[in-house]
């Protein structure tokens, strides 16, 4: 697919006001950071467009429509102000309408609209459905009093590092999607490289989200499809049905257990997605041999009784562990177990036919081989160093 430019950043100008007078605005920092990271991932300067003019009550210009029409990926920086801005919501709706008209809003199961959450929002009916279904990239965290705060270097080194990690993950994903969009179709007689299988990376509580993002990024860089790639339903029955459908596509499920409960779908059981998805994966392991990895760090405890009961049960209940490698230790240990589980099983050589000669490969030094030759044998010119000698029996 051909596009005039790669990325269009849509944002509310209020969200680019700097926290202090000596700093750049958040959107400007996001733009410049993404420009650098994406250029490095692509190996060429990234083409990112952002309207930096103060528009006030200007009409929705033809220039914006022109930019939207030629854009590969639309990145929206979502905030409460964005949803209240008629201009911003018109930008995102216009892009979706143009892409849908060309039957290219979703390509290879990936939407060309990316949502970056600078702050938590309640989207309601303000955004197109394809945007609401996405997981998005959360560029905020919660303080100890559960107050949301954007990842801004103005708050200190830890938020700065988190900001850069999120931007790096987004840059890798955008690079992969741009490559897919712009890749020419192979000739019909060219054999396509086999795609790597899908992996189910279960939802987790907030204290494991950073680890989940790191594992997701590493698997994606290795060519695996990581599911779920959209927000799963909040209704319990619909949620379980969606999980079962995803697990049917996967060769491995990964469960990262934290001290928090996590999201609780609306239903009779009132259990978290962490518990529900582990149960469904265990059932799939029983019925179809699905491999699983559960990361339960040593000494993990929860202040919430329900989650502590689940942590205890995971260590003692064989039904909850079914089909899984239960891994303790640091995240690198969990990642090693994941990659080991994804290795294809070794191919066993078929047994030799009855009566056929069998061969033994003997590795020896060339000098030893010459010294043990029978006197009546003709001398051969040995190669320097060790070499294999084939012995038939």
Assess whether 180 and 308 both reside in one domain.
no
Helix H, strand E, coil C: the string for the chain is: CCCCEEEEEECCHHHHCCCCCCCCCHHHHHHHHHHHHHHHHHCCCCCEEECCCCCCCCCCCHHHHHHHHCEEEEEEEECHHHHHCHHHHHHHHHHHHHHHHCCCCEECCEECEEEEECCCCCCCCCCCHHHHCCCCEECEEECCCCCEEECCHHHCHHHHHHHHHHHHHHHHHHHHHHHHHHCCCCCCCCCCCCCCCEEEECCCCHHHHHHHHHHHHHHHHCCCEEECCCCCCCEHHHHHHHHHHHHCCEEEEEEECCCCCCCCCECCCCCCHHHHHHHHHHHHHHHHCCEEEEECCCCCCCCCHHHHHHHHHHHHCHHHHCCEEEECCCHHHHHHHHHHHHCCCCCCCCCCCCCCCCEEEEEEEHHHHHHCCCCCCCCCCCCCCEEEEEEEC
Residue 352 in domain: no
Q: Among 187, 214, 243, identify where a domain stops.
A: 187
Assess whether 23 and 153 both reside in one domain.
yes
Burial 90-107 (b: 16+ CB within 10 A, else e): ebbebbbebbeeeeebee
Assess whether 255 and 309 both reside in one domain.
yes
**Average pLDDT of the chain, as a whole number:** 83
Assess whether 25 and 157 both reside in one domain.
yes
Between residues 70 and 171, which one has the greater pLDDT? 171
Residue 388 has pLDDT above 50, yes or no: no
Range of lowest pLDDT (267-276, 316-325, 371-380): 371-380
Q: Count how many domains the chain has.
A: 3
Q: Among 187, 217, 242, identify where a domain stops.
A: 187
161: pLDDT confidence band, cut at 50, 70 and 90? very high
pLDDT score for 55:
52
Count CA atoms closer than 13 A to 146's CA, side-chain side: 1
> Where residue 307 sits, what CATH number does that domain have?
3.40.50.280
The Cα angle at residue 32 between residues 30 and 37, in degrees rounded to 5 = 90
Residue 31 in domain: yes
Q: What is the layout of strands, in order, in the sheet containing 324-327?
A: 225-227, 198-201, 250-256, 291-295, 324-327
Supply 8's token pair: 């269009």
Residue 5 has pLDDT above 70, yes or no: yes
Instruction: Tell me how crowded residue 273 is: count the other CB atoms within 10 A of its CB.
Output: 22
Question: Do 286 and 247 contact (CB within 8 A), yes or no?
Answer: no
Residue 236 in domain: yes
Assess whether 222 and 337 both reside in one domain.
yes
Query: CA–CA separation, 163 vs 26, rounded Å?
Result: 11
Query: CA–CA separation, 358 vs 246, rounded Å?
Result: 46
pLDDT score for 191:
47
Instruction: Tell me how crowded residue 8 is: count the other CB atoms within 10 A of its CB.
Output: 24
pTM: 0.65
Assess whether 47 and 126 both reside in one domain.
yes
Assess whether 253 and 151 both reside in one domain.
no
Residue 132 has pLDDT above 50, yes or no: yes
Assess whether 365 and 340 both reside in one domain.
no
Assess whether 178 and 200 both reside in one domain.
no
pLDDT score for 145:
83
Residue 350 in domain: no
122: pLDDT confidence band, cut at 50, 70 and 90? confident
392: pLDDT confidence band, cut at 50, 70 and 90? very low
pLDDT score for 72:
93
Between residues 142 and 349, which one has the greater pLDDT? 142
Residue 374 has pLDDT above 50, yes or no: no
34: pLDDT confidence band, cut at 50, 70 and 90? very high
Residue 367 in domain: yes
Total number of residues shown for the chain: 393
User: Looking at residues 134-140, what average pLDDT do you find?
Assistant: 89
Query: CA–CA separation, 111 vs 31, rounded Å?
Result: 21
> Where residue 49 sits, what CATH number does that domain have?
3.40.50.10140
Residue 354 in domain: no
pLDDT score for 377:
44
Assess whether 98 and 123 both reside in one domain.
yes
Query: CA–CA separation, 261 vs 204, rounded Å?
Result: 8
Range of lowest pLDDT (65-79, 109-123, 135-149, 177-191): 177-191
For residue 60, what are the CA distances in angstroms to 94, 128, 135, 235? 10, 18, 29, 38
Q: Among 187, 216, 247, identify where a domain stops.
A: 187
pLDDT score for 361:
62
Residue 325 has pLDDT above 70, yes or no: yes
Question: Do 370 and 379 contact (CB within 8 A), yes or no?
Answer: yes
pLDDT score for 41:
92
Assess whether 379 and 333 both reside in one domain.
no
Question: Do 105 and 112 contact (CB within 8 A), yes or no?
Answer: yes
Supply 84's token pair: 């209240």
Residue 335 in domain: yes
Residue 387 has pLDDT above 50, yes or no: no
Range of lowest pLDDT (4-13, 72-81, 103-112, 250-259): 103-112
Assess whether 224 and 284 both reside in one domain.
yes
Residue 329 has pLDDT above 80, yes or no: yes
Residue 113 has pLDDT above 90, yes or no: yes
Question: Do 154 and 19 contact (CB within 8 A), yes or no?
Answer: yes
Residue 353 in domain: no
Query: CA–CA separation, 141 vs 210, rounded Å?
Result: 11
Residues 300-318: tens digit of each pLDDT: 999 999 999 999 999 989 9
Residue 370: give the domain boundaries: 359-392
Residue 366 has pLDDT above 80, yes or no: no
């Amino acid at each position: 697919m051909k596009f005039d430019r790669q990325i269009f950043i849509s944002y509310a100008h209020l969200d680019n006001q700097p926290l202090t007078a000596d700093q750049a605005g958040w959107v400007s920092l996001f733009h410049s950071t993404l420009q650098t990271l994406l250029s490095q991932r692509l190996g060429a300067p990234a083409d990112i467009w952002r309207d930096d003019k103060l528009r006030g009550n200007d009409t929705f210009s033809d220039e914006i429509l022109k930019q939207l029409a030629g854009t590969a990926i639309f990145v929206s920086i979502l905030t409460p102000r964005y949803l209240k801005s008629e201009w911003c919501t018109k930008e995102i709706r216009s892009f979706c309408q143009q892409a849908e008209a060309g039957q290219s809003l979703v390509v290879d199961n990936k939407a060309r609209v990316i949502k970056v959450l600078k702050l938590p929002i309640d989207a309601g009916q303000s955004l197109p459905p394809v945007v609401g279904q996405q997981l998005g990239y959360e560029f905020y965290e919660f303080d100890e009093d559960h107050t949301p705060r954007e990842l801004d270097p103005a708050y200190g080194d830890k938020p700065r590092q988190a900001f850069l990690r999120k931007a790096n993950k987004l840059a890798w994903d955008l690079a992969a999607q741009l490559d897919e969009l712009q890749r020419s179709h192979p000739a019909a007689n060219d054999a396509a490289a086999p795609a790597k299988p899908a992996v189910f990376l279960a939802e987790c509580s907030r204290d494991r989200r950073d680890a989940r993002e790191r594992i997701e990024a590493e698997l994606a860089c290795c060519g695996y499809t990581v599911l779920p790639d959209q927000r799963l339903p909040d209704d319990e029955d619909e949620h379980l049905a969606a999980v079962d459908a995803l697990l049917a596509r996967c060769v491995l499920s990964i469960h990262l257990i934290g001290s928090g409960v996590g999201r609780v779908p609306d239903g009779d059981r009132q259990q978290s997605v962490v518990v529900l998805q582990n149960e469904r994966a265990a059932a799939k392991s029983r019925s179809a041999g699905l491999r699983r990895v559960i990361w339960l760090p040593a000494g993990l405890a929860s202040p919430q009784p329900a989650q502590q009961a689940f942590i205890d049960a995971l260590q003692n209940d064989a039904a909850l562990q079914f089909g899984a490698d239960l891994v303790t230790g640091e995240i690198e240990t969990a990642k090693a177990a994941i990659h080991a589980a994804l290795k294809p099983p070794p191919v066993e050589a078929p047994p030799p036919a009855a009566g056929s000669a069998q061969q033994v490969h003997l590795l020896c030094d060339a000098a030893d081989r010459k010294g043990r030759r029978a006197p009546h044998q003709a001398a051969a010119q040995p190669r320097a160093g060790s070499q294999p000698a084939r012995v038939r029996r």
